[in-house]
Structure 1
Amino acid sequence: MARPWERLRRGLLLVVVLAFACGVTRPAAAAGEPVVVATIHPLTAIARELAGNWIDGHTLLPPGASPHTFEPRPGQMRTLAGASLIIAVGQGLDDWALQLARSAQRADVLLVGDEVAAAGLGIDFSGDEEHHHGEPAEDPHRHGGAIDPHVWLDPVLVRDVIAPAIARRLAAVLPGREAEIEANLRAFQEELSRLDADIARLLSFPGSKAFISYHSAWRYFARRYGLEEVATVAGFPGREPSARWVADVVRTAREHGVTVIFAEPQLSPKAAETIAREIGGRVLMMDPIGGPGLAGRERYSDLLRYNAGMLADALAAAR
């Protein structure tokens, strides 16, 4: 019997085929700008830093949704089918979009996770066993990729690998704007260098750098700034952890003196709240996605500053 996702996927692919048979057109842009579609908000935000109003930018993942649990709607096929450029993470994070892009025969898809992997800068999934508490957790078989896909959460990777890759593809769909895109890239890279230095200073205090995240989205950030993710609230986002898992996270929190448990706005905070009560701690929000209209989390740099501030508060509480 086909699993629910398989039935949904087949239905969505059928929608794509029917849409093309009826003559899908490109989404309307105010001045004929090329349509650029990203799977998650941070990638859209980076594209806008580089191309501004020269593109008609869209994000497939709606505000408040997680790429780990999202199921695309048939109405999004129209936007995807008409895109000049599709920017995705890849590495299993947003396969729901890549399957639809392939069905729409879109060849111009940029996978930023693959760019990081090709540069030899990805974090693989080995060495995670200490966080699994005897249960299956996030791994390459679940994500479908060779590396941790949360590559956008390291501003240096964005500066050196992801933003240049996006800039190259934007230049290809914006002929005549190459020099301006290159200038915007240089300015954005300078901003990211300042951001990196600011975060490094913010998190450079002595003492424990142990923290407990909702799920393993923060390994690139932790590697960059010398932090230690000692446990995760959930083995896989969107799936409630077992009682055994929760008990092990509580024990780990006590062993490391962790008093703040992180939740994420895209996912239920219930398990994080349970763990925080057990340790007499509190819950703070880290946000790997951000979104339009969210104060302090709309621009890419602001999103990273927000999360660095949350981590600094949590680590200060443990000192």
Structure 2
Amino acid sequence: METSSSSEFVVQFWGVRGSVPSPGKETVRYGGNTSCVEMQVAGKRLIFDGGTGLRMLGKSLQPQLPIEAYWFFTHYHWDHIQGVPFFAPAFVKGNTFHIYGAAPDGLSLEDHFSEHVLHKNAPVPIKEIQADFKFYDLTYGNTVNLGEITIETSSTSLNHPNGAIGYRVTWQGHSAVYCTDTEHFPDSIDENVVHLARNADVFIYDAMYTDEQYNNPKSPKVGWGHSTWEEGVRVAKAAGVKQLAVFHHEPNHNDDFLDQMAVELKEAFKGGFLAREGMVVSLL
């Protein structure tokens, strides 16, 4: 089943936090749920990752059932799969999910999903899943075509422990790029990321830290697999993107801290903004 409009290209943020959920009174403006982004493109629904923000997406979809969606995973660390066992549409017969990703350790994506995403620690048994799950194994550099929509993957792994895939969605000359859980290089810009983000309308980038935090000699974040908003600006300028969405907020960054970061980001890059839960960005 298609979404309501076949002439829109919309990005909605359902979870924007990194590493671990961070609910509480100090994170209400930006949100405390982990990574989950939805795109509605040319009448099709695309979902990226399955962090705790996925639960809220699932609740919003209940009145629209049955649904068909295309689901893309960057990788399988906890903050990107925690919401899967709580995604209500997965337990409803008649829904269809086309699931894309690269499985580690030589497993097929279907086997990896069953054994490590919907594993024995999940609160709901696998047998309770009633939706139709269809699995598609990806390797770096693959392109997926959904009618007139093209989804490119990063040509190589993003710079993250155990690897991750970046995605570029293009339709009618407009592009949205989902590039999270990647660490920049200390001495040169990441050309893999620049190419993925080239001339994008919206570039969603892992900017978990500030440059100061990343290079703090007392507690450096080098090698942790995440980047900074300042590096996001450098990539955005090099790639010629229109809007930079700072994403994957550090769980200890409260609303006031992120407000100040937003001011500094805007001064450095006119098209820069911080992703918030519930935020909707239209590319058309």
TM-score class, shorter-chain normalisation, is: 0.3 to 0.5
TM-score by length of 1: 0.33
- Greater per-residue strand proportion: 2
TM-score by length of 2: 0.35
Structure of larger gyration radius: 1
Higher relative contact order (CA 8 A, sep 6+): 2
